[in-house]
Chain A
Amino acid sequence: MIKLTVPISDESIRSLKVGDSVLLTGIIMTGRDAVHKWIADTFIKKTRQPAGDDLEVYEAIKPMLNGGLIYHCGPVVGGLDTKQYRFVAAGPTTSIREEPYQGDVMHHFNMKGVIGKGGMAAKTLKACQEVPGVYFHAIGGAASLIAQSVQKVVGVHKLDFGVPEAIWVIDVKDFPVVVTMDAHGNSLHDVVRQQSKLVLDRLSA
């Protein structure tokens, strides 16, 4: 088992290979559909003007993502009334929906990867080679177990996106993940897809 602390160095990232089991520790943030679209539209493609607290949130997440990670997750959060937030259930969401944005977002912030489930495709794999970064696969549905590795909710941005879509800044300890896409162009998802296609073709001959 490999232990890594965020922020992660390029050297550590390049040493990871598909199949490695890793325990992640440090400050990370959640971000899924609304967050990726918001970052891409406002700060990368710039098709919309920053409004409200956009710039403030951008400045807050920038240092965190430099060498850092985004976790594709829409948690169940307790303590919403009192703002004494705690993560009740926090497994990964399906990452492929962020494929149109992820590579650009990784480049923009110098991110060292993402945590999610289901894997991602060619654009993200290319970004993983260039930045460099990796795709950390968490176990989908293992939400209460994963919530145990969240030591503390440090803060929240964009709560107006809704609880599942907000940016939750969390302090995690020994978050269990598996590398399924590495910085050397390897993807377990590509391998499984190719192998299963051969079987499908045989079964549907």
Chain B
Amino acid sequence: MQDLTEQILELVRVTSTDLPPDVEKVLVEAYEREEPGSAAKGAMETIMANVAMTRKNSTPICQDTGTPIFFVHYPEGYNPRLLREQIKSAIAQATKKTYLRPNAVDSLSGKNTGNNLGDQHFPSIHFEEVDGDTLTIDLILKGGGCENVGMQYSLPNDPMKAGRDLEGVRRAALDAVFRAQGEGCAPGFLGIAVGGDRGTSYDASKEALLRKVDDHNPNPDLDALEKRITDEANQLGIGPMGFGGKTTVMGTKITATHRLPASFFVTLSYMCWAFRRRKMTVKGDQVTYE
């Protein structure tokens, strides 16, 4: 198996410093919608200037370079144990090169490891073996501000009048966006998982964020709900940074996963405007990034 440390380091650099085109496109649209002279417009203007600068200078878009969350799909012939070591080595090098901030803190002692390597859960790496001959590594850098405003609801929830149906999902999503206000660095993106246990539901809500902003959910009911939640979240008027404005959410992605008869979780992962998400594909000795 080839050593991919250098290529993974490049994946980390691109993810931290160069916002993906589908995300930038909706940021531009959000900028254009805000009222001239408003605080919201000013915030979007600053955001756009920062995005351009970090791409040019290869510096982090946000100082909170977050939890590195990897989704690795590997064909036969790749060794996940070795891939984990290469990912860890790339993460430590990226930290040294200031593409990443040292973010792994021992929860008991408060000590920062200084290199972004913590225990087996930090960085977060999900492995899945796949058919074929192509290795893909998706990376999301998810900061703490937006992670902190994530929510999990157990339905039914009487005060919210949220039952175990898609209407309940809609109510839960809007409640979470309202509670977040500007704290998760609005305008943001919503990854929503319906079902699962508490743990798998959070994982699925993050994996939902791997979809492109402008794609469609293959399930027409979920596709319609995604659009409706985005539209209604924007009616809340929270706006960029919570300053008040027209854009609060720029995209919603919903996934459904099997659940126990007794449980009905709606889990929402909020992603900030600095949606750092990139993918690396390895086929033979060809490595591409998107």
Contacts and interface: CB of A to CB of B under 8 A. Distances in A.
Given A76-B63, A118-B182, A199 B237 contact: yes
B26 interface: no
Contacts of B171: 204
A192 B274 CA distance: 22
Given A88-B98, A193-B181, A75 B235 contact: no
Interface in B108-160: 110-112, 114, 143-145, 148, 160
B2 interface: no
Interface residues of A, number: 50
Contact of A189 (B182, B272, B273): B182
Nearest to A176: B46
B251 to A, nearest CB: 16
Given A143-B63, A191-B244, A165 B272 contact: no
Interface string B38-77: 0100110011011001100101111111000000000000
A156 to B, nearest CB: 14
A24 to B, nearest CB: 15
A145 interface: yes
A162 B112 contact: yes
Nearest to A78: B98
A96 B182 CA distance: 11
A94 B50 contact: no
B63 A139 contact: no
A147 B238 CA distance: 27
Nearest to B148: A94
A34 B63 contact: no
Interface string B155-196: 000001100000000010011001001110100000000000
Contacts of A51: none
A147 B60 CA distance: 11
A180 B133 CA distance: 54
B112 A144 contact: no
Contacts of B243: 137, 178, 180, 188, 192
27 contacts: A34-B110, A76-B59, A76-B63, A78-B98, A93-B145, A119-B182, A139-B47, A140-B241, A141-B47, A141-B62, A141-B185, A141-B272, A142-B49, A143-B61, A143-B62, A164-B101, A176-B46, A178-B243, A192-B243, A195-B237, A196-B236, A196-B237, A199-B235, A200-B178, A203-B174, A204-B160, A204-B175
Interface of B: 39, 42-43, 46-47, 49-50, 53-54, 57, 59-65, 98, 100-103, 105, 110-112, 114, 143-145, 148, 160-161, 171, 174-175, 178, 181-183, 185, 232, 235-239, 241-244, 272-274
